[in-house]
């Protein structure tokens, strides 16, 4: 049952992103009421900077459902939302999808043509609920969520895939910056998978990256001590800022940031641990591909969560060759617990676990004063700048998240209210 539900989710998401390559226009169409801008890829690309938005038909509930029917995929048993997207964030996985090197590209689950994008924030503009089920969303509600196909002006999405803003203190820009495809990955990895506890020490690799900046803050909120690694000086300053005690302005003993581009960084990690009487870190959060070196600075019985391989540079068959290979005796000698984590797959196979995880995350995000702060590298205005944002991420310039403002929030709300007035789209009546 759980597995079937999960499969439905990805099927629906893919359906939403799928497009008809014949109906794409590169310049603004005469009939803009039926077309929208989107980062629609007819094929995988070699250079991210060459990616340009084009115009594709706006998604409607009808087009969404008929696309599911065409593909012989199960129809949703829950309300659907039509969303006016205000912000979308660039995700590392976008780059993999664009290049066609993600496992979902290779398995045939996600092949061109498609609309890029995995996370968004925006405003509900219409609700499709023919069976009058309980639905907690109405036009005008501000939401954020994860779906495929979010680098676009509009989206149709099942209601269960979106979330309300954690509290009135959060803006649509803020939630885009923590990303529904980003912060829950780090939260799930540190809580459900690693079981990180107060007083433990965690080593967060690529601590200024999208997953990294939130892992640092989540670990702190859980009462753990954090040692972060980064690859450059400017990113070191970003993580130091996250670790500074607001009262003293100092980084507490036993915590710190280390540049892992220098040989021997493992010794620096152990030296930091020794400041608080530990011989190594309790947990490692590895999104880069540094398991072997990490084990060198892990305490006996330590846990290593393998969540990503950002350190791979290849995009073809060589990418697989670049994956780290380790002698298994290293795991035995220190009795390491090596734990894999695949957020999307967990959501598909264990949806109840994901619901529980989101409850914990929501609780953490709604705390006041805030324990999690958005970290934004840059906000790019308009989908026509999404290529620059992707290029910056590819070049490792980005810290935290690069955001694309698809539509100004006030303008989006104005359009939603106008759409609402125009007939509460007579769609249900027509069915």
Ligand X SMILES: NC(=O)c1ccc[n+]([C@@H]2O[C@H](COP(=O)([O-])OP(=O)(O)OC[C@H]3O[C@@H](n4cnc5c(N)ncnc54)[C@H](OP(=O)(O)O)[C@@H]3O)[C@@H](O)[C@H]2O)c1
Binder of ligand X out of 44, 78, 137, 309 (CB under 6 A) = 309
Residues 340-359 that bind ligand X (CB under 6 A): 341-344
CB of 288 to ligand X, least distance (A): 5
Only segment of 21-29, 104-112, 305-313, 359-367 that touches ligand X (CB under 6 A): 305-313
CB of 279 to ligand X, least distance (A): 26
Question: Quick check: 48 and 98 in contact, CB under 8 A?
Answer: yes
CB of 97 to ligand X, least distance (A): 10
Of the pair 105, 299, the CB lying nearest ligand X is at: 105
Query: 3-class secondary structure for the chain?
Result: CHHHHHHHHHHHHHHHHECCHHHCECCCCCCCCCEEEECEECCCCCCHHHCCCEEEECCCHHHHHHHHHHCCCCCCCCCEEEEEEEEEECCHHHHHHHHCCCHHHHCCCCCCCEECCCEEEEEEEEEECCCCCCCCCCCCCEEEEECCCCCECEEEEEHHHEEECCCCCCCHHHHHHHCCCCHHHHHHHHHHHCCCCCCCEEEECCCCCHHHHHHHHHHHHCCCEEEEEECCHHHHHHHHHHHCCCCCCCCCCCCEEEECCCCCHHHHHHHHHHCCCCCCEEEEEECCCCHHHHHHCEEEEEEEEECCCCCCCCCCHHHHHCCCCCCCHHHHHCCCEEEECCHHHHHHHCHHHHHHHHHHHHHHHCCCCCCCCCCEEEEEECHHHHHHHHHHHHCCCCCCEEEEECCCHHHHHHHHHHHHHCCCCCHHHHC
CB of 388 to ligand X, least distance (A): 15
CB of 91 to ligand X, least distance (A): 6
Of the pair 127, 389, the CB lying nearest ligand X is at: 389
d(CA 175, CA 153): 17
Of the pair 232, 366, the CB lying nearest ligand X is at: 232
Of the pair 201, 216, the CB lying nearest ligand X is at: 216
CB of 34 to ligand X, least distance (A): 34
Of the pair 125, 294, the CB lying nearest ligand X is at: 294
Only segment of 146-154, 242-250, 308-316, 419-427 that touches ligand X (CB under 6 A): 308-316
Of the pair 37, 182, the CB lying nearest ligand X is at: 182
**Residues 82-101, mask of contacts with ligand X (x by CB under 6 A):** ---------xxx--------
Residues 182-241 that bind ligand X (CB under 6 A): 182, 185, 206, 208-212, 230-232, 235
Binder of ligand X out of 308, 339, 389, 403 (CB under 6 A) = 308
**Residues 243-282, mask of contacts with ligand X (x by CB under 6 A):** ----------------------------------------
CB of 206 to ligand X, least distance (A): 3
CB of 258 to ligand X, least distance (A): 11
Q: Does 311 bind ligand X (CB under 6 A)?
A: yes
Q: Which residue ranges make up the site for ligand X (CB under 6 A)?
A: 91-93, 182, 185, 206, 208-212, 230-232, 235, 287-288, 307-311, 313, 341-344, 393, 396
């Amino acid at each position: 049952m759980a597995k079937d539900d999960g499969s439905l989710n990805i099927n629906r998401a893919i359906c939403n992103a799928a497009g008809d390559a014949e109906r794409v226009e590169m310049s603004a169409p005469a009939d803009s009421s039926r077309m929208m801008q989107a980062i629609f890829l007819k094929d995988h690309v070699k250079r991210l900077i060459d990616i340009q938005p084009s115009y594709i038909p706006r998604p409607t509930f009808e087009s969404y459902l008929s696309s599911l029917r065409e593909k012989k995929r199960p129809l949703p048993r829950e309300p659907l939302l039509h969303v006016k997207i205000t912000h979308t964030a660039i995700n590392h996985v976008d780059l993999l999808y664009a290049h066609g090197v993600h496992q979902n590209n290779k398995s045939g689950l996600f092949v061109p043509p498609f609309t890029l994008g995995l996370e968004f924030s925006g405003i509900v503009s219409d609700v499709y609920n023919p069976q009058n089920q309980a639905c907690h969303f109405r036009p005008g509600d501000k939401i954020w969520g994860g779906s495929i196909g979010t680098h676009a002006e509009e989206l149709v999405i099942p209601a269960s895939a979106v979330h309300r803003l954690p509290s009135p203190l959060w803006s649509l820009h803020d939630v885009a910056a923590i990303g529904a495809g980003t912060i829950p990955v780090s939260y799930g990895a540190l809580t459900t998978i690693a079981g990180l506890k107060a007083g433990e020490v965690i080593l967060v690799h690529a601590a200024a990256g999208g997953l990294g900046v939130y892992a640092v803050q989540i670990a702190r909120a859980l009462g753990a001590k954090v040692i972060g690694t980064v690859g450059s000086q400017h990113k070191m300053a970003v993580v130091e800022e996250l670790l500074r005690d607001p009262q003293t302005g100092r980084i507490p003993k036993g915590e710190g940031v280390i540049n892992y581009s220098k040989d021997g960084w493992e010794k620096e990690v152990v030296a930091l641990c020794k400041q608080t009487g530990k011989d190594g870190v309790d947990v490692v959060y590895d999104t880069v591909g540094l398991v072997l070196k990490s084990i060198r600075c892990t305490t006996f019985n330590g846990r290593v969560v393998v969540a990503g391989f950002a350190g791979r540079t290849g995009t073809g068959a060589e990418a697989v060759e670049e994956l780290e290979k380790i002698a298994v005796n290293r795991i035995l000698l220190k009795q390491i617990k090596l734990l894999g984590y695949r957020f999307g797959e967990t959501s598909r196979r264990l949806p109840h676990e994901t619901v529980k995880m989101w409850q914990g995350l929501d609780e953490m995000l709604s705390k006041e004063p805030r324990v999690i702060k958005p970290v934004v590298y840059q906000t790019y205005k308009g989908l026509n700048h999404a290529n620059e944002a992707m290029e910056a991420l590819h070049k490792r310039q980005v810290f935290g998240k690069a955001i694309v403002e698809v539509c100004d929030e006030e303008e989006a709300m104005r359009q939603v209210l106008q759409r609402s007035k125009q007939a509460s789209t007579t769609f249900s009546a027509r069915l």
